[in-house]
Amino acid sequence: DRVNQLQDDEAAITLENVSMNFGTFTALRPTDLKVKSGEFLTLLGPSGSGKSTLLNLIAGSLAPTTGRILLGGRDITFAPPRERGIGMVFQNYALMPHMSVFENVAYPLRIRREPKDVIGKKVHDALARVGLEGFDERKPKQMSGGQQQRVGIARCIVYSPSIIMMDEPLGALDKNLREQMQDEIKRLHTDLGTTFIYVTHDQEEALNMSDRICLMNVGGISQLGTPDELYFEPRNRFVAEFIGESNLISGRITGRDRFLANIGGEYAVPSREIAVGQECRLMIRPERLMMSSPENEPAAGRNSLRGRIIDTSFIGGMTRIQVEMADGMVVTSKAISEHGRAGVQAGTEVLLEWDPVNSVVLTD
Ligand code: ATP
């Protein structure tokens, strides 16, 4: 595993065998994780998968049931949150409502007893970084949600923490603003060069923002990798289905690069050392299914299916097309949208083809 080959001096945070039980309930199974210095790592997963638990263990608001947590080389497993030097941004902003923007952002510096002139300079630098120059005297309730979260971010970066963690920071904002702020946070990460750990349950947000994604499911890590790796090389069904859309065809391996579908039909697959007879699923992303007229013969080396379009939906740049096979199986294809959805009407017979390298064999 590439992650475990990291030298310790490259790792900003190391979790070794860290688990968390609440009574008899396991919120986090024993977990190893290395967060690289300077990377943007996203904890992604459905509700209840353990993202916040993992974040709170790193922040120090929870103490693990087993294992240790290292910050750089230092064991911080049981260190109080304040001593960790980790900055937090929360979904609900957690601003002090009676304090001005300036005082909210100055707060971490006042606790650290920084001199007044230093505080003034650092607060104004932080506010400038988040585009809030001139907002010093405003109260949080006189600002929009997006502006309040910018104050939350300024308060986090103002004392230059060595790690910045954000727990669903854009969860309360509408889609357009969320996308705009994703780009702002990415830019901030590039400018600061600090290690970011970001929590979201929104896969598009994770794909857009992250250097690496740690995809979690029921209290454990399902896969850790770049957005690209999770999308194109999912290791299991959960990853294939949580990230993007996928077509799954059940069957078994009949040779080094052969797959026999349960519904009939033998397909070429990327060659892997999988035992002949092993039950598995063939995964193909919708946009990899190329659609053409049923009179066509599949190109040499490609796999194919024949069926009838039963539904189409316009989703902007792409059109999503549901195709039913003779045996009743439905697969989803995606094609670049054209005016009037030319050629993609329900009822049309089609040929679907894919290149074997664009499919993945999942053995779980
Ligand atoms: P969400 O996206 O909904 O915030 P999450 O992935 O962050 O979910 P966690 O908040 O880490 O999930 O919770 C993981 C599991 O641990 C959940 O089933 C939750 O109910 C449970 N849990 C969390 N905190 C406690 C606690 N203090 N006592 C008991 N159970 C808890």
- 33 and 147 in a single domain? The answer is yes
- 114 and 252 in a single domain? The answer is no
CB atoms within 10 A of CB 170: 25
Query: Which residue range is the domain that position 162 belongs to?
Result: 3-241
- Residues 33 and 39: their CA atoms lie apart, in Å, by 13
DSSP conformational letter for 236: S
**Which value does ipTM take for this structure?**
0.96
Ligand 1 atom closest to Cα of residue 23: 29
- 331 and 267 in a single domain? The answer is yes
Asked whether 48 lines ligand 1 (CB < 6 A), one says yes
Domain end among 179, 214, 241: 241
Structure-block tokens of residue 48: 């209840």
- 17 and 98 in a single domain? The answer is yes
Distances (CA, A) of 55 to 31, 126, 176, 240: 13, 24, 26, 24
Looking at the structure of the chain, the number of domains it has is 2
Ligand 1 atom closest to Cα of residue 49: 6
| CATH value at residue 272 | 2.40.50.100
Whose C-alpha lies nearest to ligand 1, atom 27?
Answer: 22
- Residues 287 and 270: their CA atoms lie apart, in Å, by 18
| CATH value at residue 68 | 3.40.50.300
Q: How far apart are the first and last CA of the chain?
A: 20
Nearest-Å Rg of the Cα atoms of the chain is: 25
Q: Give the H/E segment covering residue 105.
A: helix 101-111
Give the model's pLDDT for residue 1. 44
Give the model's pLDDT for residue 342. 58
Asked whether 53 lines ligand 1 (CB < 6 A), one says yes
Q: Which burial class, exposed, middle or buried, applies to 354 when counting CB atoms under 10 A from its CB (0-12, 13-18, 19+)?
A: buried
Asked whether 356 lines ligand 1 (CB < 6 A), one says no
Domain end among 185, 212, 241: 241
pLDDT tens digits along 111-166? 999 999 999 999 999 999 999 999 999 999 999 999 999 999 999 999 999 999 99
- 36 and 113 in a single domain? The answer is yes
- 221 and 307 in a single domain? The answer is no
Give the model's pLDDT for residue 340. 67
- 148 and 217 in a single domain? The answer is yes
| Cβ-Cβ contacts under 8 Å for 128 (sequence gap 6 or more) | none
- 355 and 213 in a single domain? The answer is no
Whose C-alpha lies nearest to ligand 1, atom 30?
Answer: 22
- 299 and 332 in a single domain? The answer is yes
Domain end among 182, 213, 241: 241
- 61 and 163 in a single domain? The answer is yes
Structure-block tokens of residue 123: 């607060």
Report how far ligand 1's centroid is from the alpha carbon of 27 (Å): 6
- 217 and 317 in a single domain? The answer is no
Report how far ligand 1's centroid is from the alpha carbon of 92 (Å): 17
The β-bridge relationship of strands 163-167 and 195-200 is: parallel
Q: Give the H/E segment covering residue 303.
A: strand 303-314
- 75 and 204 in a single domain? The answer is yes
pLDDT beneath 70: ranges in the chain: 1-9, 340-343
pTM of the model: 0.91
Asked whether 220 lines ligand 1 (CB < 6 A), one says no
- Residues 279 and 6: their CA atoms lie apart, in Å, by 35
